[in-house]
Amino acid sequence: MNADSISVIKVRDILMVTMPPDPDDPTVSALQDKVLSAMERYEAKGVVLDISSVETLDSFFARTVSETAQMVTLMGGRTIIAGMRPAVAVTATEIGLTLGNIETALSVDRALDMVTSKPRSKKLQ
């Protein structure tokens, strides 16, 4: 497996990044480089990270994604993680993975809706 198993597609001014089902550590590390260079090349407004195929989300993956999102923010973009599987969400919650302030969406469709509209404030009271 290598970095090519991560697909990065430009859709208008958004980057659609799709993760493979069980990426090894080098592939996960490659995610950061690929996303950031694509952000620069296309001057994208944001990144939608599709993890609907991902079966295991451990701390290494979570940390890399979180760092990448912070970097994307610094480059003026927004990151949305889409399609997390229920089993992954349950496990992640139990081990205390919160993914920080990264936004999440039920599906890639909804993520695209979110990115193309105003940023939704998490706190609605």
Partner 1 sequence: MNAAAQGEVQIQTESDIVIARRTVREAAAQTGFNLTDVTRIVTASSELARNLFKYAGGGVMRWRGIEDKGCLGIELQFIDQGPGIPDTGLALQEGYSTGDGLGMGLPGAKRLVDELEIQSVVGKGTKITLKKWRKS
Partner 2 sequence: MAPHGEIMKTQMRPNSGQKQKSAAAKEITQNSDLLQLLVDSIKDYAIILLDTDGNVLTWNSAAERLKGWKAEEIIGQNFARFYPVEDVEKGKTKMELKVASEEGRFEDEGWRVRKDGSRFWANVVITALRDKNGELRAFGKVTRDLTDRRQNEEKIKKQAQEILEMATVPVVQVWEGIVLVPLIGTLDSQRTQQLMERLLHRVTETGSPIALLDITGVPTIDTQTAQHLIETISAVRLLGAEVILTGVRPVIAQTLVHLGIDLTNVITRSSLTAGLRMALTILKLDVAPLKTL
According to DSSP, residue 73 is labeled H
Residue 5 binding partner per list partner 2, partner 1, none, with a CB distance cut-off of 5 to 8 Å that depends on partner kind = none
By the 8 A CB rule, do 82 and 110 touch?
A: yes
Torsion of the alpha carbons at 6, 44, 47 and 121, rounded to the nearest 10: 180
Please give the residues from 78 up to 97 whose contact with partner 1 meets the rule CB under 8 A: 86-88, 90-91, 94-97
Using the Cα atoms of residue 64, residue 29, residue 9 and residue 57 in order, give the sign of their dihedral: negative
Q: Residue 102: in which H helix or E strand, if any?
A: none
Quote the CA–CA distance of 110 and 31 in Å, as a whole number.
Answer: 22
Residue 50 binding partner per list partner 2, partner 1, none, with a CB distance cut-off of 5 to 8 Å that depends on partner kind = none
From 4, 13, 24, 113, residue interacting with partner 1 (rule: CB under 8 A): 24
Residue 82 binding partner per list partner 2, partner 1, none, with a CB distance cut-off of 5 to 8 Å that depends on partner kind = partner 2
Rounded to a whole number of angstroms, the minimum distance from the CB of residue 42 to partner 1 is 28
String marking each residue 27-66 x if it binds partner 1 according to CB under 8 A:
----------------------------xxxxxx-xx--x
User: DSSP 3-state assignment of 76?
Assistant: coil
Residues lying near partner 2 in the complex (CB under 8 A) are found at 81-82, 84-86, 89-90, 92-94, 97-99, 103-107, 110-111, 122-125
